[in-house]
Amino acid sequence: MEQIEDHEIISENPTADDETVLEIKPQSITARKNIYSRPALKRRFKLYTHESHLIFRHTIKKISKLMYSLYVVYGHRLKDPKPVLENQANIEKHFTEIENRIRKETEARQKLLTQNKTDPGKPVYSNSLLLEVSLTTPQMGRFIDLLMMTDELIMTIDSCWLHGLIDSEVRSRENYAWQHIVLQLFTLIIVTCDEITSLIGDEQTAAATEKIENIPEVRN
């Protein structure tokens, strides 16, 4: 039986320079005849901070499929695509809000470093991750961009802490807060997809019920 591939992290291999390479092995699913051949782009990138690693591990097995469903599949499954379009717009709005907040906070932290005449360079991390993922939608690429932006911000916060500009409690609180913000967006995407799936199920149930009710009675 032919096998089709999707992503699954299967191993971590520490290298000599304290960099961990995550190998992405496909999950196997049963193939169907004439299955759609999806385009994808391979993207390779690094994540340095502990918080970004946690986000990646928590989201990577679901986020690609969720984005593909929301932005490609669902619009063709409902008679009226309006609910899908509205939910897409809501997700995009949250993306933009978080991106703007991260940019603003990163600039503020970099300014703090500059004002105190400290080197604004990035800290060195003991276990960075080298990653490669398949981008099957533009929105998946945007999520990876957001994850990298979060990583960059947390590196800047760590730099402020290492230079003695903020204390350990502030650093811990802020790093956790930004991790939580990105995971909240992920949760919103899950809830959104669940709601649309429910709409599709209700519509299909109604259509099936209508067919049953329209079956003519058999008279003896």
pLDDT attached to residue 201: 79
List CB contacts of 64: < 8 A, sequence separation 6 or more.
6, 7, 133, 134, 136, 137, 140
Which is more confident, 11 or 103? 103
pLDDT bracket for residue 139 (50, 70, 90): very high
What's the average model confidence in pLDDT over 98-112?
A: 96
| 29-68: pLDDT as tens digits | 455 555 778 899 999 999 999 999 999 999 998 999 999 9
Instruction: Look at residue 79 and tell me whether its pLDDT is greater than 60.
Output: yes
pLDDT attached to residue 98: 98
| Residue ranges of E strands in the chain | 3-14, 19-30, 41-47, 128-135
DSSP state, residue 16? T
pLDDT attached to residue 119: 72
Provide the β-strand partners of residue 8.
Answer: 25
3-state percent breakdown (helix, strand, coil) of the chain, nearest 5:
60, 20, 20
Task: Classify the C-alpha dihedral 181-66-136-82 as positive or negative.
Answer: negative
Residue located via tokens 């000599």: 16
pLDDT attached to residue 219: 53
Which is more confident, 24 or 192? 192
pLDDT bracket for residue 123 (50, 70, 90): very high
| Residue ranges of E strands in 31-163 | 41-47, 128-135
| 164-176: pLDDT as tens digits | 999 999 999 999 9
pLDDT bracket for residue 203 (50, 70, 90): low
Whole-prediction pTM: 0.79
DSSP 71-91: IIIGGGTSSS-HHHHHHHHHH
pLDDT attached to residue 70: 92
Task: Classify the C-alpha dihedral 26-27-28-33 as positive or negative.
Answer: negative
pLDDT attached to residue 19: 58
Share of residues in the chain with pLDDT > 70 (%): 75
The average confidence (pLDDT) of the chain is 82
